[in-house]
Amino acid sequence: MNPIARIHQRITAAVPEWSLALLLRVGIAAPFFLSGRTKVEGFLTLSPSTHYLFAEEYHVPLLSPDAAAYVTTYAEHLLPILLVLGLMTRPAALGLLIMTIVIEVFVIPTGWPTHLLWAGPLAYLIARGPGAVSLDRLVKID
């Protein structure tokens, strides 16, 4: 075995997959949750600026601006929490991936470098699941 293959094997053996999955879950949950927090005043009361943005700036198809504001805000709070807990991880990651695609196509088409950074961890979590340290594994969903 060549030296590079040995180094790769040692690193792979030293870093368990559950730790990567946990890092990706927490890392991708943060920007979505923080974005959701900017849309509310208090606990979950939408701010006037959120209503304005969805009515005037963000043109989400198939939903009224009011419905889009509420759906987006609640999703940005609930789905990241599920990811951090590792509960319903694949559906939560899929929801955030769909949100990312909608943002890219309809809201900020020039944001693709950031959106690719979001899509990578979400695709990993959809494909591989939450890892061993998760509520999904505890309740045997994954």
Domain ranges of the chain: 17-138
In sequence order, what DSSP letters do the residues of 12-34 get, joined into one string?
Answer: HHHS-HHHHHHHHHHHHHHHHHH
Q: CA 20 to CA 55: how far, in whole Å?
A: 39
Q: What is the pLDDT of residues 79-123, one digit of tens each?
A: 999 999 999 999 999 999 999 999 999 999 999 999 999 999 999
0.85 exceeded by the pTM?
yes
Q: What are phi and psi of 99, to 5 degrees?
A: -60, -40
Per-residue pLDDT averaged across 28-47, rounded? 94
Nearest residue to 83 via CA among 10, 6, 39, 142: 142
Q: What per-residue confidence (pLDDT) applies to 9? A: 87
Per-residue pLDDT averaged across 125-141, rounded? 94
**Cα end-to-end distance, the chain, whole Å:** 35
Q: What per-residue confidence (pLDDT) applies to 42? A: 85
